[in-house]
Chains A and B, each alone.
Chain A
Amino acid sequence: MQFLVAVRSTTYSARTLQIGSSLAAGFSADLSIVYVGDRPKELLSEGVNLSRDTMLNWEIHHPGVEVLRWAYEKMQEFGMVDPDAGEFDPTNLVEDAGRIRVLVPQLHGEKIRLILREGDPVDQLKQETEFRDYILTVVGGGSRKRLTRQLVQFVDTSLLFVKNYDPDRDYKLLLCVDDSGATRRAVSFAARVARYLKVHIRVVTVSKTKRFGPGYQSAAKWAQRYLDKAGADYAHEYATGDPVSIFTDLAGEDHIIIMGKSRKSPLAKFLTSSKPAKTVLKANAPVILVK
C-alpha cells in the first residue's frame, strides 16, 4: 500500500506532512513525499536553468530539494525514518520518468520516497499517481475552486484535503453514507482510520427529501453492520436537506469528513462539479474522499 503526500513549502506543509505520515503509519503504507513547484515560463527558462547550474557550484540547491530535506528531517522527527539512517544528501538525485528523486539512504528497504516535480500541480500529481499505484493522495489547501475541482476529478486515487487541521484538536470522524458506489470503501476506510486514531465515528445519511429510498437505507444498514463487525465506536443518524451544507455544518472544525468519490458522469462533474468537490470547498475541516 502506498500513500502520496504533496508538500509545497516548509511554512505551509507541516500539517499536511504530519497527518499524511500519521495515516501512512496507521495503514503500514509506504510514503512518497512529492514537492510540486512552479515551472519557469518556457520563454524565460534558459536563465533559470543557467542560474541553477551556477548555484549548484555554490552548493545552493533547488528550493524543492530544500523542502524535501525539511520533509525528511520531519520524518525523522515523527519516527518514520530509522534514526540510524544516513543524512539527507541533496546531491543524491536521480532523474526518472520526468521527475527527480532524492535517494534516501535508509537501512531497511524504501519505505519513504522523496520526489521533486515542476509544473501544473494537477498535471504533476496526476502523472505521479499514474506512475505508481497510490491508494491515497494527501494535499493541503482545498480552498481554490478550480484546483480543488480538478484534483477531485482527475487525480485517480482517494484524496485527503488537509484543511484547517490542528494537530492539538481531538478529531472525530464524520462518515457520509449514501447509495454511491464508493460508500462501502469509504466505510471500510473510516473504520480503519478510527481504529488507528481511536476516535468516534458519526455516521450520517442525508437525503434531499424526507423520503429515504431503499438504496440509502440499505447503504446505511450495510455501514452499520460493517462498523459493528469492525468494533468501531459509532452513532448513525438520518438527516434531510442539502447534503453539502449538512456535512459541513455537522463537521464543524472538529471532524474529519470521510465520503466516497462521486459517481456522477465525468461530463456532469466537469460541467457542474460534484458533491464531494463542493464539500471540500465548503468544509472547514479535513476531508477524505475515498475512491
Chain B
Amino acid sequence: MLRAFLYWVSQKRWLLFAIALGTAMYHLPYPGTLSPAGYRTLILTIIVIILLISEAVPLPAIALLIAVLQVVFAIGKPGDVASSYMSDSVFFIMGSLMLAVAIVRQGLDARLTLLILNLTGNSVTRIMWGFFIISMLLTSFMGEHTIVAMLLPMALTLVRNTSDDPAEVKDLAKLFLFAIAYGSILGSFGTPSGGARNAIMIEYLSDFGLAKMTYSRWMVFAYPVMLVQLPFAGWLLSRSIRPHQTRLDDSVRKLREQVSETGQLNPQQMLSIAFFVLIFLAWVFLSDRIGIGIVALGGVFLYLAAGLVQWQEINSRTNWGVVLLYAGVISLGLQLKNTGAAVWITDHILGLIGVFLDQFEVLRYLLVAVMTTLVVNVMSPSASVAVLGPVFMNFGGNQVLLGMETAVASAFGFMTVIGSAAGMIIASTGLVGAKDFLRVGWRLTLLANGTLLLALLFYWPLLLGSP
C-alpha cells in the first residue's frame, strides 16, 4: 500500500509540486500593484506551465483545470470563461487538425514523391534541397505535421533502398529527415494557416485592439523573412550533416518503380487538391471577413460532403484533447491581458532592464526572440504564444511588432525534439536523437533569430504605416 502510494508520488511529483507552489502563492500576501484577479491569474499560469512541460496530467485535464480555477479564483464569471473557450483561432486549430487527417488519407504522398524526384534527380544534395524547399513551401499553407507525414515515408524508403545496414545510411537518414523537419519549421510561420500559433496571435492582435492582421497582410510580413532564410538554412543544413553517399541512382529507381505502380491521379485526389486550392483562396480573400477558422471548418465540410473522408476517421484520428487544451490556454492568455497580469510581469522585467532596452531598441527584440526561442524548445509552440504573447506584447516597443516577433520566433524549435511537431515526428522514427537536434539545431536557431531581428529593425517598421 505504502509502496503504491510512493510510486504514485514519484509519478505525480510535478503535479504535487504545482499544487504546493500554487497553494503557497495563494496564501502569500498579494502584491499591492496587481489586482487579486491578476495575481491569481499569475498563479494559474505558473501551474499550467508546470503541468504542460511535465505532462503530469493528461492535456484535457489541464484545459479543464484552467476553466475551473478561473471561476474558483474569481478571475472570471462562468459565462465569460465559457465563451472565452471558443473563438476563431480555436475553430482554426480544430479545422486544421481535421484537414490534416482528410488530406493525408488521399494518398497524395506518392504524387509528391514523383514531383520531388522529377525536380531533383538522383543527387543526394539535390534531393535534400528538394525535401527542404517543398516542405517549407507546403508547410507555409497547411500545417507542418500534414506535410511531414506525407514526405517522411518517401525519405525513409529512399534510405531503406540505399542499404539495410543502419550504420551505412545513418547520416543520409539524418540529412533527409532534418531537411523535412527544418523546412517545415521554417515554413510554418509564412502564412497564418502554417501553424496554430499564427492564428492565436491574429486573434490577440484583434482582441487587444492593436491591428487587424488579414491572411495576406501576415504573408507580407512573414513570407519574405521565410524566403530569405531558405538558402542560408539549407546551406547550413548541408554543411552540418554530410553523408558519404553522393548519388542514389538505384534507390531512386526503385522508389520510382514503387510509386509508378499507383498510376495516374484519380478523381478523388484531383478533387482533394481542388478543395485545398479553394480553401487557400478563401483564406487569402475571405478570412478577414469570415475568419481563418471558419474557412478551415468550411474546408472540412467540403471533404466530408464529397465523401473524401469519413467522419469516423476524422473523429478517431483527431486529438480533441489538443483542441480543448488550446481553448484553455487561449482563454488564460486573454485573462493575463484583461486582469493586468501581463502588464505587471513586463513592468517588473522592464523595471530591471528597461534602461538598457530604451537605449538599444535591438536589445528589446533580441530579448523577446531569445526568451521565446528558449521557451518554445521546452514547451509547445502554440501554447508558448498563447501564454507569452500577452506578456511580450507589453514589452515597451511597438506591440504589433512584438506580437509578430513572438509568433514567428515561436516557430524556432530547432534544438529539441519537443520544440516542434515536425521534430517530434522525425524523432519518433528512432533515426535521430536529442543530440542531433542540438548539434544541427543551434546553427539554424542563430540564423533564424538573426534574420528575424533584421526584419524587425529594417523591414517590418516599413509595413506599419501601410494598409
Contact = CB atoms under 8 A, between A and B. Distances in A.
Contacts, number: 118
Nearest to A37: B430
A10 B166 contact: yes
Contact of A51 (B10, B59, B148): B148
Interface string A51-83: 111110110100110100000000000000000
Given A43-B383, A45-B319, A48-B425, A60 B160 contact: yes
B144 A150 contact: no
6 A-B pairs with least C-beta separation: A47-B145, A63-B430, A51-B149, A58-B153, A44-B424, A47-B421
A261 to B, nearest CB: 12
A270 B160 contact: no
A251 B97 CA distance: 56
A60 B153 contact: yes
Contacts of B157: 58, 60
Interface in B410-454: 418, 420-422, 424-425, 427-431
B365 to A, nearest CB: 27
A274 to B, nearest CB: 13
Nearest to A126: B7
Contacts of A10: 166
Contacts of B144: 47
B418 A41 contact: yes
A44 B10 contact: no
Given A40-B428, A48-B425, A270-B10, 8 more contacts: A41-B380, A42-B321, A43-B325, A46-B319, A47-B148, A60-B156, A60-B157, A63-B429
A252 interface: no
A interface SS class: helix
A55 B156 contact: yes
A43 B322 contact: yes
B145 A50 contact: yes
B428 A48 contact: yes
A267 interface: yes
Chain B: number of interface residues, binned into ranges:
35 or more
Interface in B286-330: 317-319, 321-322, 325
Interface residues of A, number: 36
A123 interface: yes
B172 to A, nearest CB: 15
B239 interface: no
Interface string B160-188: 10000010000000000000000000000
B154 to A, nearest CB: 8
Which of B9, B145, B318, B325 counts the most chain A CB atoms within 10 A?
B145
A9 interface: yes
A53 B104 contact: yes
A64 B430 CA distance: 9
A153 interface: yes
A154 interface: yes
A54 B150 contact: yes
A149 to B, nearest CB: 9
B104 A54 contact: yes
A154 B3 contact: yes
B146 interface: yes
B7 A154 contact: yes
Contacts of B149: 47, 50-51, 53-54
A49 to B, nearest CB: 7
Which of A9, A51, A66 counts the most chain B CB atoms within 10 A?
A51
B55 interface: yes
Contacts of A153: 3, 6-7
Interface in B367-412: 380, 383
Given A37-B430, A51-B149, A154 B10 contact: yes
A50 B100 contact: yes
B352 interface: no
A2 B333 CA distance: 53
A136 to B, nearest CB: 19
